[in-house]
Amino acid sequence: MDKINVSLGLNQSLALSESRIKNFLDGNNTAATKMGWFDTVKDKLFNAGAKQAALEQLAQEFDASKGLTAFDKFERLSQFADPAARSQFTVAKRGSQEAPTLEYRIKDLPVKTDQVSAEQWSVIETRLGHVTGLGGLDVHAADWLGQYERTDLQQARSAVTDDAFKEGGVHKRFDPQSGVLRAEDSTGAGDFEREGRIETLAETSEGLARYVSTQKPIASKDMATELPSIESTKAHAVVTLYDSQHVKSGELDKQIGDLSAREAHSVLMQTVDMARVFYHSGVSHQDLHMHNLMVHQPTDPQQSNITLKAIDFGKSKVGVTSESDRLNDVRYLFHKKASSGAIETARRDARELLGYDLHKMEKHYPLHKLMEQCARAGGSGATETHAFDEGIRNIGDRLVSGLQHAETLEGEARTAAIDQAFNHAMQSLSATSDHLSRPRIPEHGIRV
């Protein structure tokens, strides 16, 4: 296998051989960072030890104390690779559904084999963005979306002028052709700062990069280079765009009505797994309605993928320590509790109960709306969203109880308890969704 180039930021790049990759995935960081005497001398003489430093940095990313699985490491390696090479990182599933074997491949060559349980595979399949039940091969790209990331926007951004920002709201305006945002006031500029903190955290936090799409602020000293045609002194940022020939993207509230039952099921699972990753990372989004959840799908109908990412972290908190902040997203998703407090929760409850200002509710409660879409698209009959309130609330109660217990533990025991609580919630929602996705069979009377 040819060496794989990975980038670690700050001009740190590496060309990894097959043996180094295997050692990293196996957790043998000592062997993975070892260099021969000739390479060591060459590195010191010509690179000032940059290769050794980059290897050690990668070893820190995969440190055993972080509790990373083989899949976590493999996925992270794929994210370090150049966007065009990410589709060459694949996961092949073999064996029985009850005890599958996963084969991690790069350029179609196996670099690691791992035995997992059916529960573990279900979670991994969710994180791969694979839509179950649509057939296809049991070989999945570790990051199907990343290969379509636009890397050709430098010229478009160089040409952006101050009158290009037509879309957006009061605080921020957007140029969709270049992916450049402009803050219109201090609130918008403050949003950019929060987004920057999330972006920095995603560089080191396991799994966070999978579920976030951030607005990356442009430092004032870099404006002349990156946006040379802009005269405004307002704060600017850029967002990731994908090739529209290969990827269809849109906010969940706009896309949900077109999702199949299995697609809605996958997004449902990803929403809960996203909440798990946020909880582990000490992040509270505080605004997880459907207009802040982006859905990305391949335009090729032969590809059975769908990927969910959260956007707009303007109200988010990082490094949360209080229970109210840790459980804020969970209580919104499962219990319909407004992040802003009891008064707003009461307003929303009244709107649903009395049926007024319902347009203000269209973006809210993704779990409930996705469950409704599973029922509608699956042919089991139209069902009102509030019909799922009790079931989802009960699952949420068990999840909160499990997370509260996890906070009495430390280290790996706490991590395992958090994962277990979220996995149980995913299994319970999945069972309900699967039932709803099955078309109802009309009863037929029998004449005698």
Q: Which H, E and C letters describe 339-399, residue by residue?
A: CCCHHHHHHHHHHHHHCCCHHHHCCCCHHHHHHHHHHHHHCCCCCCHHHHHHHHHHHHHHH
Q: Residue 128 carries which side chain, given as an amino acid letter?
A: L
Mark the ranges of the chain whose per-residue pLDDT is less than 50: 134-136, 441-448
Beta carbons of 286 and 326 less than 8 angstroms apart: no
Beta carbons of 250 and 297 less than 8 angstroms apart: no
Report d(CA 250, CA 275) in Å as an integer.
20
pLDDT of residue 19: 82
pLDDT of residue 123: 86
pLDDT of residue 407: 97
pLDDT of residue 136: 45
pLDDT of residue 448: 36
- Can you give the pTM of this predicted structure? 0.86
pLDDT of residue 441: 45
pLDDT of residue 44: 77
Q: Residue 183 carries which side chain, given as an amino acid letter?
A: A
Q: Interior CA angle at 325 toward 322 and 327, to 5°?
A: 105
Q: Which of 213, 209, 193 is nearest to 150 (CA)?
A: 213
pLDDT of residue 251: 96
Q: Residue 18 carries which side chain, given as an amino acid letter?
A: E
pLDDT of residue 135: 45
pLDDT of residue 446: 39
